[in-house]
Amino acid sequence: NAGVTQTPKFQVLKTGQSMTLQCAQDMNHNSMYWYRQDPGMGLRLIYYSASEGTTDKGEVPNGYNVSRLNKREFSLRLESAAPSQTSVYFCASSETGQLTEAFFGQGTRLTVV
């Protein structure tokens, strides 16, 4: 039972490079989320997808794009990475309209140099 799987686990990018963070869940959840976690800031919502085919901006969307590829997969893309995007990124999923329990992946540690 994998839950929420994120790839890669670690990544180092140079400023200006692009990359896509992948997330997949096997719990048949409708909603998926991308958060970033920085020291002293807690988790901040970047983008979310309430259901397949929809995406909405969260608290800190600038510099990111997302794609809800299907019900299982939700990817986060950095088009031109900046040092300010150095963070730990978490993907999460939850069952919309029910208990607000979000299941989190293990995180992707991204460093932009």
Partner 1 sequence: QKEVEQDPGPLSVPEGAIVSLNCTYSNSAFQYFMWYRQYSRKGPELLMYTYSSGNKEDGRFTAQVDKSSKYISLFIRDSQPSDSATYLCAMTTDSWGKLQFGAGTQVVVTP
Minimum separation from the CB atom of position 108 to partner 1 (A): 10
Give the number of C-alpha atoms closer than 13 A to the C-alpha of residue 96, restricted to the C-beta side. Answer: 12
Using CB under 8 A as the binding rule, whether residue 33 contacts partner 1 is answered as yes
The site that binds partner 1 (CB under 8 A) totals a number of residues, namely 29
Residue 48, burial from CB neighbour count under 10 angstroms (0-12, 13-18, 19+)? buried
Instruction: Select the residue interacting with partner 1 from 1, 14, 28, 42 (CB under 8 A).
Output: 42
Using CB under 8 A as the binding rule, whether residue 98 contacts partner 1 is answered as yes
Q: Which residues contact 7 (CB under 8 A, 6 or more apart)?
A: 21, 22, 108
Q: Where does this chain bind partner 1 (CB under 8 A)? A: 4, 31, 33, 35, 40-45, 48, 50, 58, 90, 92, 94-107
